[in-house]
Amino acid sequence: MPEDDSVESKDTTTKLVCPKCGAQMRTYARNGITIDQCTTCHGIFLDRGELEQLISAESSYLARSPQERRQADDKRGRGFLGELFD
């Protein structure tokens, strides 16, 4: 497949097609992880290795003390996964 420059910034609509319903996909870049979401059925699709990155980031977040997590949540407005799926 040829290189596609349609994924440029952190929240962009791409030329990717949803494998479930065939609608257009939107790409979100959060914390170094690229997530593709269907604009119609809202399915979430990850590339190889991205699930492991999400698990690692969530584990790091949960390893903090409750006070450190509250401070991080206050800065971001919600937890790690909440930020990914706003």
Long-range pairs for 51-55: beta carbons < 8 A, 24 or more residues apart: 54/81, 54/84
Q: Set out the domains of the chain in order of their start, with CATH numbers.
A: 11-84 (3.10.20)
Euclidean distance between CA atoms 34 and 79, whole angstroms: 18
Residue 7 has pLDDT above 50, yes or no: no
pTM, two decimal places: 0.59
* pLDDT one-digit tens code per residue, 22-79: 999 999 887 788 889 999 999 999 999 999 998 888 888 788 888 887 777 776 655 5
| Number of Cβ atoms within 10 Å of the Cβ of 50 | 15
81 phi, psi to nearest 5 deg: -70, -30
